[in-house]
Structure 1
């Protein structure tokens, strides 16, 4: 085959160079036709759309054409022609065809038919080749780029925080241990405990659950920073909302109070959504149609809001801001609570809000995204700034339709005395956190930050229902394939 520079399908479909010769390469989605003409639907991953290749059968070797099956990879040189079919303006009249890689079609699991998402999770090494997962991968890339663009435009520095850590930022205790000790013959102390002084780092270490604490160290010198890295939780949870390995975006800002923090979170979320609408329209249209098809047998009031309409809904509204106490009053007096419809009834101040409560506030009561503030200190982390009432902290959670909490953050406690007091209450040893406490000893300032679970954002932007479908290779209990 004559060597010619490859053109991506996404670029070809925009071209007006009718009559020009071009070279396309990709994977065959389908082949149909008769003894006179074949039509190949070719996709190279650059966009949701396939390119139609028209093959005049008499011009090609019969054995070659038999090898063009679903899943095979091919290189085609041909002429760009106006398409006579609907859907796209150009197609390729094939002049030369080369099979780059044959596909054993009898064993190929991605036949041209509808496959369940559960089945596709079992073949995650191939699911990128489907329209759904190709679209998700492209949207995910765009969202990653938009995160970095947003913070770079605002003058933030990207900081790489450690993946291996000796601290537990959330106090959750459900962490993956990192060790080089021989698990069949672990060294023990005189008390019979594992002797971590013999381990690689000389102490017990884990995979991080958050880059926040180290992020604060950087912010209290550099001003405004953000982290974007993998985080890990060893929580034995098999829900559609939990992963064992996921990505977190965590900005930390010196000289920011809670109001500044809320302003930034709202601006950030709207920036990401607008970027998706502006740059991923074809993929979002496809994902919207997929969702509507999936929910067509549901009752009208059980169906999700149309995807693009839902994204525009967030852009169109200022987020409602109210305190946890105000939210509890609304929920306590709501019809679902009074009629026993909530799985977790709201009894009053101190109730831990569940997804059903968060979604009620957003979808039924306010019909807008909501930011809740000033939670009881007993249900929040040690580092959140104590309010003057002594009972609540300067926390904030951003609540979205269909997702519930999408961002969690707070103004951080800048008083050394109050911070050490909270640590005593929660049995967090000061000697292990000496480096964190030093930032309050040496020029402490008002500062704030938040965390956005990237996969939760991806669920919202793509309309997918299971978090394992918005990360390329999900890690969850009993799931570490690929």
Structure 2
């Protein structure tokens, strides 16, 4: 029976006791017509299968090629060779799936580049690097649900198709069943008549579940969303995806300080979980990153290794300061020529760049930073206005090596302030009547934040390109697989 197999990771954790087992997996290498390195994806470590000379038919042995799949039954014994503590002495070998080594697109001995592996993403999981990355991704996803479940949050599935633009940026993918050949129904002014569309109005793929999440928080008290979001931003960079996953908790009766405390606790929890449950994978990725950085000039290398960076986050209390204080620190650093920025610090009201955020974390405070109270002109309409009339109760969490990793705010619960701000930003109140109803009937202070899941996976794994931490990246001009 197939379900009687033993996972290689579990097997390698035991002591060899001449027990009989059945394992299944894919061939990594086959050398000397006798030694098979078998891997089933549960670990990067291979199990050495020994095919005793003369025991197996030559025709069978010729079919044992790279990436062929096998079912092997035999006895686990202490290994006589170096590099492994046990061997599986094969008694039976069954080929489950053949693989032509000349046509298989990944030749591990040549160490294919990450760029090439994106072109064959359907097979890149079989490499050590991507196997480690996606096992860590799984652990982080599990930790997200575990954290919020332990705190009594309700997991809310918010819509993927929506008629609202939560961020007001307009970079959304349209969802329609109307013809695209120019024959779509038109209004008198020649605009498309979306009343004839499937939903009877213009709809898009969501950029955020936050607005709907607020509705849940004002009923359950504490909710979180964790689902796909989409942004039609034509940015072909190592930091952007068109499809990505977001985690967005929302908590009634919380203010900005409560929000910051929750976000800090959450980040530390999921990183700690990955370090406790996937240390083997993280050590592998750390070593890989260190080898890559040896090829870089000294001034381009990171000051911290991967494990050191993760410990830096979970072992330090995050520094809290206002945006205004941060601008003064950055201006002073520029004034004293301590740090020359590519983007000059022009003064209060500017949007901080990644290099500014990293300076605060890595050079000035040497710990993660939570920036609060941003100018309202550079933030979204739903953020609570502070008494000074200039700033809003917003926060960003900045981490080493990557900059902003979390963005959040206390939401504007006052109906008059919210509608006034929507008017200033030309956001039609009639389209968000349902959102405004929560301010009309039992409004409460509430706050929440968003964490881009791929950005977190990228941070924890040390991968340089965000396309390498999502199974099948969606980017401009690319929707393969």
Q: TM-score range by the shorter chain?
A: over 0.9
Residue 211 (structure 2) aligned to one of 205, 210, 213: 213
Where 1:167 maps in the other structure, the secondary structure is: coil
Output aligned runs, 1:19-168, within 5 Å. Answer: 19-33=18-32, 38-113=34-109, 114-168=111-165
CA distance in 2, matches of 1:176, 1:150: 32
Aligned position for 2:174: 177
| Residue of structure 2 in register with 1:272 after alignment | 270
Answer whether contact 2:27 2:37 (CA < 8 A) is retained: yes
CA positional deviation for 1:3:
7.9
Q: Does the 8 Å CA contact 1:332/1:338 hold for their aligned counterparts? A: no
CA deviation profile, 1:186-233 (whole Å, cap 9, x unmatched): 111000101000000000000000000000000011100000000000
Residue of structure 1 in register with 2:362 after alignment = 363
Cα deviation, residue 84, structure 1 = 2.7
Residue aligning to 1:257: 255
Label 1:280 to 1:337 Cα distance change in 2 as closer, same or farther (>3 A): farther
Contact kept, 8 Å, 2:334 with 2:341, in 1: the verdict is: no
Q: Is contact 2:8-2:43 (8 Å) kept?
A: yes
Aligned to 2:6: 7
Q: How many residues align?
A: 478
Distance change in 2, residues 1:339/1:362 (3 Å): closer
Normalising by structure 1, report the TM-score.
0.97
Say if 1:105 and 1:378 are closer, same or farther in 2 by CA, change over 3 A.
same
CA distance in structure 2 between the aligned counterparts of 1:91 and 1:359, rounded to whole angstroms: 48
TM-score, scaled to structure 2 = 0.97
Question: 1:230 corresponds to which residue?
Answer: 228
Instruction: Kindly indicate whether the alpha-carbon contact (under 8 Å) linking 2:371 and 2:396 is maintained by their aligned counterparts in 1.
Output: yes
Which 5+ residue runs of structure 1 have no aligned equivalent?
none
Map Cα deviations across residues 397-439 of structure 1 (whole Å, 9 max, x no partner).
0000011000000000010000001000000001001000010
Given that residues 359 and 402 in structure 1 are in contact (C-alpha distance below 8 angstroms), is that contact kept between their aligned partners in structure 2?
A: yes
CA–CA separation in structure 1 for the residues paired with 2:271 and 2:84: 27
Sort the Cα spacing of 1:444 and 1:108 in 2 relative to 1 into closer, same or farther, 3 A: same
CA contact (8 A) 1:4 1:22 kept: no
Where 1:91 maps in the other structure, the secondary structure is strand
- Residues 172/4 of structure 1: CA separation in 2 closer, same or farther (3 Å cut): closer
| Cα distance in 2 for residues equivalent to 1:109 and 1:336 | 54
Distance 1:237 1:4 in 2: 45
User: Aligned partners of 1:313 and 1:4: how far apart in 2?
Assistant: 42
Aligned position for 2:324: 325
Gaps of 5+ in 2: none
| C-alpha distance in 1 between matches for 2:421 and 2:382 | 8
Match of 1:289 in 2: 287
| Deviations, residues 318-363 of structure 1 (Å, cap 9, x unaligned) | 0000000000001111148858831211111011101111011111
Greater displacement, 367-376 / 343-352: 343-352
Q: Structure 1 residue 6: deviation in Å?
A: 1.0
SS at match of 2:430: helix
Determine the structure 1 residue equivalent to 2:439: 440
The structure-2 alpha-carbon separation of the partners of 1:4 and 1:97, relative to structure 1 and needing over 3 Å to count, comes to: farther
**SS at 1:41 equivalent:** strand
Other-structure match for 1:203: 201
For residues 382 and 274 of structure 2, what CA distance do their matches in structure 1 show? 33
Paired position in structure 1 for 2:185: 187
What CA distance in whole angstroms lies between the structure 2 residues aligned with 1:236 and 1:55? 53
Q: CA RMSD in A?
A: 1.4
Q: Secondary structure at the match of 1:334?
A: helix
Deviation at 1:62, TM superposition (A): 1.0
Distance 1:18 1:356, change over 3 A: same
- Per the alignment, residue 375 of structure 1 pairs with 374
For 2:286 and 2:219, how far apart are their aligned partners in 1? 44
Q: 1:4 to 1:385 in 2, by over 3 A?
A: closer
C-alpha distance in 1 between matches for 2:460 and 2:6: 29
SS in 1 for 2:397: strand
